[in-house]
């Protein structure tokens, strides 16, 4: 009995130490798990934000340019020269809405914006289908190009590859013409006496020019960067 009490007293002396060690171990384990969970959530949030930024950039720049921007480790402003490139055989597609001035004058602003949004969104899907890179949209103009492939390089393109890209550009143009003809626009016109207005419904029409040749490409601008094409090939396509 005396021995039991002595052992009990000895254990009571160590209980605070054992309790302290247990509490400290539990606290460290809890904080470690807390930081691991927080780091995991931050990684997930960072990945979502990175995908969101990439989606935004994909609406402004071709996908292969966005990939270079995303994987750039240094200052993008100093390394954008790596995107500038010369291409020997690019098929440029220049699409304009026919009689756009009359459409602007005959429809409401919200109607005009809705028409352009529907049309250019559909053109974006067609460009993806035929593997043609969308370059930009300016007012009533949609500019795209086939043959911009950084993996193959702009100076080593073969005649077969150039012909394949030209066919892709032609397929895109035909699909644009076909889909646009199915879009109807209601135009308001004043009557001859000027005392009323009539509504004329007609299909939307576009003019498309295609030309293949040498171009120079690069990203211009810093606040709102834009991937642009330069050269007589672009000018010729716009005049056709």
Q: Are residues 12 and 85 both part of a single domain? A: no
Q: Are residues 51 and 84 both part of a single domain? A: no
pLDDT, one tens digit for every residue, the chain (240 residues):
555 555 555 656 666 666 667 777 777 777 788 788 888 888 888 778 777 777 777 777 777 777 776 666 555 565 566 677 888 899 999 999 998 998 888 888 898 999 999 999 999 999 999 999 999 888 899 999 999 875 555 566 788 888 999 999 999 999 999 999 888 888 777 656 556 567 778 889 999 999 999 999 888 877 777 888 999 998 898 887
Helix ranges (H only) for 159-207 are: 159-180
Q: Are residues 9 and 118 both part of a single domain? A: no
Helix ranges (H only) for 59-108 are: 63-70, 76-79, 100-106
In a 3-state reduction of DSSP, which class is residue 195? coil
Q: Are residues 43 and 114 both part of a single domain? A: no
Q: Are residues 235 and 161 both part of a single domain? A: yes
Asked if the structure places residue 138 within a domain, the reply is: yes
- Alpha carbon distance 167, 143 (integer Å): 16
140: CATH: 3.30.70.1230
In a 3-state reduction of DSSP, which class is residue 152? coil
Q: Are residues 107 and 193 both part of a single domain? A: yes
Q: Are residues 96 and 53 both part of a single domain? A: no
Q: What angle do the packed helices 63-70 and 2-58 form, to 10 degrees?
A: 140
Do residues 197 and 188 make contact, with C-beta atoms less than 8 angstroms apart?
yes
Asked if the structure places residue 67 within a domain, the reply is: no
Q: Are residues 137 and 205 both part of a single domain? A: yes
Q: Are residues 134 and 39 both part of a single domain? A: no
- Indicate the residue among 10, 30, 58 that finishes a domain: 58
Q: What are phi and psi of 92, to 5 degrees?
A: -95, 130
CA atoms within 13 A on the CB side of 145: 28
pTM (two decimals):
0.72
pLDDT at residue 12, rounded to an integer: 62
Asked if the structure places residue 34 within a domain, the reply is: yes
Q: Are residues 193 and 84 both part of a single domain? A: yes
Q: Are residues 108 and 157 both part of a single domain? A: yes
In a 3-state reduction of DSSP, which class is residue 55? helix
Cα dihedral 121/127/129/131 (nearest 10): -150
pLDDT at residue 201, rounded to an integer: 84
How many residues are recorded in the chain? 240
Q: Are residues 84 and 52 both part of a single domain? A: no
Q: Count structural domains, the chain.
A: 2
Asked if the structure places residue 146 within a domain, the reply is: yes
For residue 31, the enclosing domain spans: 1-58
pLDDT at residue 1, rounded to an integer: 56
Give which of 81, 215, 70, 200 is closest to 146, Cα–Cα. Answer: 215
Asked if the structure places residue 82 within a domain, the reply is: yes
């Amino acid at each position: 009995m005396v021995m039991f009490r002595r052992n009990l007293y000895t254990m009571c002396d160590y209980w605070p130490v054992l309790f302290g060690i247990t509490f400290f171990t539990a606290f460290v384990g809890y904080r470690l798990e807390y930081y691991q969970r927080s780091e995991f959530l931050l990684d997930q949030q960072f990945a979502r934000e990175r995908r969101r930024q990439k989606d935004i950039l994909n609406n402004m720049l071709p996908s292969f340019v966005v990939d270079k921007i995303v994987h750039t480790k240094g200052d993008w402003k100093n390394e954008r020269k790596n995107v500038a490139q010369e291409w020997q055989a690019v098929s440029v597609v220049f699409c304009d809405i026919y009689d756009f001035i009359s459409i602007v004058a005959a429809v409401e602003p919200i109607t005009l914006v809705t028409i352009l949004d529907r049309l250019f969104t559909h053109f974006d899907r067609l460009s993806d289908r035929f593997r043609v890179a969308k370059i930009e949209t300016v007012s009533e103009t949609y500019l795209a190009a086939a043959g911009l492939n950084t993996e193959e390089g702009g100076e080593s393109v073969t005649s077969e590859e150039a012909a394949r890209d030209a066919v892709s550009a032609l397929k895109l143009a035909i699909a644009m013409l076909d889909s646009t003809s199915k879009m109807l626009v209601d135009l308001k016109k004043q009557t001859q006496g000027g005392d009323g207005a009539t509504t004329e419904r007609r299909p939307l029409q576009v003019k498309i020019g295609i030309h293949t040749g040498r171009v120079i490409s690069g990203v211009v601008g810093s606040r709102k960067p834009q991937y642009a094409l330069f050269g007589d090939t672009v000018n010729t396509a716009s005049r056709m």
